[in-house]
């Protein structure tokens, strides 16, 4: 069961970003501490494990984050922890790992999350890819550049035009702005004290939001990954810093501590694809998860898809026959607006899906899915704990696919 989830506001990476003088592990500690404070009915010594993901595990983002962050957050020394890496799907994998432990009976309560400080640790920093990848033509050199893999999706599917990507990106920004205005994002945001040249302040809002985005401005942006390309800073997620954390618990723990689950993990799937078109990864991972759950895509009423690139989401929608503007897809907006601090993003998707479930008791199943660098995809299928069988099934049937 997904009990609760929180995140820091996501900041822009780099010296001008709000977290430039904030340690990565402190961001993670902040989210864990907030979870403990929000759920005081769970005794601290009853947490069975802590998994914190990071893509670049070095410096203030290294040293077995799950363990160090747990200690710094005030959990007893008897609570173990570990670090995990599946690049962008780090927190997603932390959740499936802990969820599997709960399902197996090894855990009653566990914490899963992720952190990425791309200002301190740019993607690929400190890494030394094996020269065999390129020398033996195991992958194209372009496969190590995520922006170039997104351009390849445009090449492979001519219907995925820049205009469609820009239109999708504009809607993401508009939906995120509307969600903030309606107070739908703030309940799971953890304010963070930040230091700058002007003194101390408080980060309370995602730094990369651009509600003024319009078609005309998007059309003028340069294409950094290829001359006359189609991927721009406007139709892709940014470089960001931020952290997330969530609590997963067993049915027994829910009863023992009087918890109110926000959703239930049904099944999950991870899959590999050609690294050169890594954005296609969520398609086979979703098909695998659906098959294992005994469900079809029409059974899914809400989708939280990570917007690493607009074209990547559009390829998923086209494959499953879902319109670009389907209201069941990222109703609050996505990473193009909020940001994508790599390994942390999975829990943001979970937070937003669980909030949407509460608004839509007629929807039984939802999906969180994302593409992963080097050619992977990850998907979790969730069940709405607010769903009420026959009554809502009839309501859903009267509204069509949703």
From first to last of its 402 residues, what are the pLDDT tens digits of the chain?
Answer: 999 999 999 999 999 999 999 999 999 999 999 999 999 999 999 999 999 999 999 999 999 999 999 999 999 999 999 999 999 999 999 999 999 999 999 999 999 999 999 999 998 888 888 888 888 888 887 888 999 999 999 999 999 999 999 999 999 999 999 999 999 999 999 999 999 999 999 999 999 999 999 999 999 999 999 999 999 999 999 999 999 999 999 999 999 999 999 999 999 999 999 999 999 999 999 999 999 999 999 999 999 999 999 999 999 999 999 999 999 999 999 999 999 999 999 999 999 999 999 999 999 999 999 999 999 999 999 999 999 875 555 444 444 444
Active-site annotation holds for 371: yes
Active-site position among 120, 154, 360, 371: 371
Active-site annotation holds for 88: yes
Q: Encoding tokens for residue 15?
A: 């010296």
| Number of other CB atoms surrounding residue 204 within 10 Å | 13
**Rounded CA gap, 116 and 114, in Å?**
7
**Rounded CA gap, 388 and 164, in Å?**
37
DSSP string, 54-105: -SS-SGGG-S-HHHHHHHHTT--TTS-EEEE--GGGHHHHHHHHHHHHHHHT
Domains of the chain as residue ranges with CATH: 2-121+238-263 (3.40.47.10), 138-184+264-384 (3.40.47.10)
Residues in the chain: 402
**Rounded CA gap, 97 and 2, in Å?**
13
Q: Encoding tokens for residue 175?
A: 């939906």
Active-site position among 88, 117, 154, 392: 88
Nearest to 328 by CA among 362, 351, 296: 362
Active-site position among 154, 340, 360, 392: 340
Global pTM value: 0.95
| Number of other CB atoms surrounding residue 62 within 10 Å | 16
166 burial class (0-12, 13-18, 19+ CB within 10 angstroms)? buried
Q: Between β-strands 199-203 and 192-196, what pairing exists: parallel, antiparallel or unpaired? A: antiparallel
Q: Encoding tokens for residue 232?
A: 């721009």
């Amino acid at each position: 069961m997904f009990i609760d989830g929180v995140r820091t506001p996501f900041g822009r990476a780099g010296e001008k970003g709000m977290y430039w003088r904030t340690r990565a592990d402190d961001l993670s500690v902040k989210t864990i501490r907030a979870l403990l404070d929000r759920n005081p009915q769970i005794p601290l010594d009853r947490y069975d494990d802590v998994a914190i993901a990071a893509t670049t595990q070095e410096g203030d983002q290294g040293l077995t984050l799950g363990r160090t962050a747990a200690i710094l957050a005030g959990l007893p020394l008897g609570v173990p922890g570990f670090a995990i890496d599946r690049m962008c799907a780090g927190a997603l994998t932390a959740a499936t790992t802990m969820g599997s432990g709960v399902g197996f009976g090894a855990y009653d309560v566990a914490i899963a999350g992720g952190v990425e400080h791309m200002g301190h640790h740019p993607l690929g920093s400190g890494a030394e890819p094996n020269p065999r990848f390129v020398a033996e033509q195991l992958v194209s050199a372009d496969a190590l550049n995520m922006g170039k893999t997104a351009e390849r999706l445009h090449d492979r599917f001519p219907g995925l035009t820049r205009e469609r990507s820009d239109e999708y990106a504009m809607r993401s920004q508009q939906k995120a702005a509307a969600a903030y205005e309606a107070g739908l994002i703030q309940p799971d945001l953890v304010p963070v004290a930040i230091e700058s040249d002007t003194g101390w302040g408080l980060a309370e809002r995602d730094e990369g939001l651009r509600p003024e985005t319009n078609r005309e401005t998007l059309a003028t942006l340069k294409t950094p990954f290829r001359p006359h390309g189609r991927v721009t800073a406007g139709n892709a997620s940014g470089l960001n810093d931020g952290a997330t954390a969530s609590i997963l618990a067993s049915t027994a723990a829910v009863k023992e501590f009087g918890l109110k689950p926000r959703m239930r993990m049904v099944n999950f799937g991870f899959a590999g694809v050609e690294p050169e078109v890594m954005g296609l990864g969520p398609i086979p991972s979703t098909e695998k998860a659906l098959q294992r759950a005994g469900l079809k895509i029409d059974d899914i009423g809400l989708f939280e898809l990570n917007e690493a690139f607009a074209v990547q989401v559009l390829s998923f929608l086209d494959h499953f026959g879902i319109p670009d503007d389907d209201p069941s897809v990222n109703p609050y907006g996505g990473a193009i607006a909020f940001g994508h601090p790599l390994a942390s993003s999975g829990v943001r998707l979970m937070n937003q899906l669980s909030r949407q479930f509460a608004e839509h008791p007629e929807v039984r199943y939802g999906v969180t899915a994302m593409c992963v660098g080097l050619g992977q995809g990850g998907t979790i299928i969730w069940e709405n704990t607010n769903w009420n069988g026959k009554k809502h099934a009839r309501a859903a049937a009267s509204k069509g696919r949703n």
